[in-house]
Amino acid sequence: MRRSFAGLITLSVILLFILVQACNRDQGSTSKSNQGQAEPTFTDAQSAANQSLATFRKLVNAQNYKELGFESPEEVANAALGAPLRTSMVKLEQLKAYKAGDDANRLLSEIDQVYYPVIVQNQVRSAISVEQSNGKWRATGFGPANFAKQIDRARKAGNAAPDAQQILVHVAPFNLYFVGRRVENKLMLTPAGDYQSFNLKAGATLPAEEVFATLATFAQQYNGLPM
């Protein structure tokens, strides 16, 4: 399972490299501020994502459309960005110190990263991630498609109100992803995947306090090796 996911990540890294080169070609001499830069940057997350999507459309062809998550080469013309998710991270040291009953919100460290699903006719096909560095936003990754669909299912789980604010929560030491939402002022987490080692099931929404209390036990015993 881990090997397969790693392969998809490698594909997304390759795509990102192509994206950067294409963006640089698109902007060319029209933007002096980008001359000499390794990749294009923007003043806001939405602009970075919009440019990335425009270039993404140009990359999809009859040979690679399935790998990139699309059902046909033609449907990429109708691809659009879905509602973004800001990302918060849970770090190892904070997780180690967590005790049942502690405020779960204190474990969340907001990072300057935003996740955008790529959708076609309300169906998620892939995703684009952008992040801020030195006050500028840039694209940092595509997909992979399977991961994007997992996040979409987690967003739809938990009986959240349509306008409920959601976030993407990355538990960094174990590389786990959750969609977080607040229900009656209580933070709830929905696993994006089946994390069997931690007895967490995809789509099964739980209070953040319960999730973090379980993960804290593993964190205190964690030796740093992949799980």
* 21-48 pLDDT, tens digit each: 444 444 433 333 344 445 689 999 999 9
Is beta strand 123-133 parallel, antiparallel or unpaired with respect to 85-90? Answer: unpaired
Q: Cα–chain-centroid distance for residue 12?
A: 12
| Amino acid present at 102 | D
Spell out the alpha helix ranges (H) of the chain: 2-27, 45-59, 92-97, 145-156, 208-221
Least confident of 18-22, 48-52, 210-214: 18-22
Sign of the CA dihedral running 202, 207, 211, 214: negative
Torsion angle, alpha carbons of 37, 39, 43, 44, to 10: -170
How far apart (Å, rounded) are the C-alpha atoms in residues 207 and 190?
Answer: 9
Write the CA distances from 223 to 5, 131, 198, integer angstroms: 22, 29, 16
pLDDT at 2 over 90: no
Instruction: Kindly tell me if the per-residue pLDDT of 216 is higher than 50.
Output: yes
In three-state secondary structure terms, 188 is strand
Residue 194 CB contacts under 8 Å (≥ 6 apart), including other chains: 200, 201, 202
CA distance 108 to 185: 15
Q: Cis peptide before 144, with omega less than 30 degrees from 0?
A: yes
Q: How many helices (H) and strands (E) does the chain have?
A: 5, 9
Over residues 60-100, the pLDDT tens digits come to 999 999 999 999 999 999 999 999 999 999 999 999 999 98
pLDDT band at 210 (very low <50, low <70, confident <90, very high): very high
pLDDT value of residue 185: 82
CA trace torsion 90, 128, 28, 38 (10° rounding): 30
Give me 53's structure tokens: 């999507």
- Provide the 3-class DSSP secondary structure of residue 216: helix
d(CA 77, CA 74): 6
Least confident of 11-20, 121-130, 142-151, 213-222: 11-20
Q: How far apart are CA 45 and CA 84, in angstroms?
A: 10
pLDDT beyond 90 at 227: no
User: What pLDDT was estimated at residue 22?
Assistant: 47
How far apart (Å, rounded) are the C-alpha atoms in residues 196 and 44?
Answer: 38
pLDDT score of 39: 67
Predicted pLDDT at 49: 96
Q: How confident is the model at residue 162 (pLDDT cuts 50, 70, 90)?
A: low
Give the model's pLDDT for residue 17: 45
